[in-house]
């Protein structure tokens, strides 16, 4: 018998310790949040993004032929592409979700309705009416 009681008290102790541990954890999180707010510390939202500087490419090409030096300057292709303007229009359309056809359920007959129906059927069968 003492073993059963000891096991029951042990379970109660474990439950109380679990509740207290959860409460202390919650209070600790709340206190940390308050301290961070007072000090002005903000949490990092999501992963840090890395920005890469664009690489400029030189399209100057030199051709040396016997004689004077000839320099050919080829304009960058990006300048030609920037003269065109692309407009993207976004349209949002709401489409109702497809509803599956629900089977028609017959209304279940209550006990009182069943008794009344059976009496009516019996009366019709016997040829008498109530």
Q: Print the SS3 string covering 6-35.
A: HHHHHHHHHHHHHHHHHHHHHHHHHHHHHH
pLDDT value at residue 55: 62
Q: Which residue has the higher pLDDT, 29 or 69?
A: 29
Joined tokens for residue 59: 């399209």
What percent of the chain clears pLDDT 70, i.e. is strictly above it? 62
pLDDT digits (tens, 9 = 90+) for 71-121: 777 766 655 445 667 777 888 788 777 777 667 777 888 999 999 999 999
Three-class SS of residue 61? Answer: strand
User: 1 pLDDT band (50/70/90 cuts)?
Assistant: very low
pLDDT digits (tens, 9 = 90+) for 68-79: 667 777 766 655
pLDDT value at residue 88: 79
Query: Most confidently modeled of 1-5, 9-13, 65-69, 94-98?
Result: 9-13
Q: Name the residue with tokens 């059927």.
A: 121
Q: Distance between CA atoms of 45 and 37, rounded to whole angstroms? A: 16
> Which residue blocks in 53-97 are alpha helix, DSSP H?
77-82
Stated pTM of the model: 0.29
């Amino acid at each position: 018998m003492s073993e059963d009681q000891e096991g029951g008290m042990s379970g109660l102790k474990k439950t109380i310790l679990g509740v207290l541990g959860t409460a202390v954890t919650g209070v600790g999180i709340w206190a940390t949040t308050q301290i961070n707010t007072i000090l002005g510390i903000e949490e990092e939202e999501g992963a840090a993004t890395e920005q890469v500087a664009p690489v400029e490419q030189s399209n100057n090409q030199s051709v040396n032929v016997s004689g004077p030096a000839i320099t050919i300057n080829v304009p960058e292709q990006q300048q030609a592409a920037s003269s065109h303007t692309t407009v993207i229009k976004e349209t949002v359309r709401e489409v109702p979700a497809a509803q599956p056809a629900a089977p028609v359920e017959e209304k279940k007959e209550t006990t009182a309705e069943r008794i009344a129906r059976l009496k009516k059927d019996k009366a019709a069968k016997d040829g008498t009416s109530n």
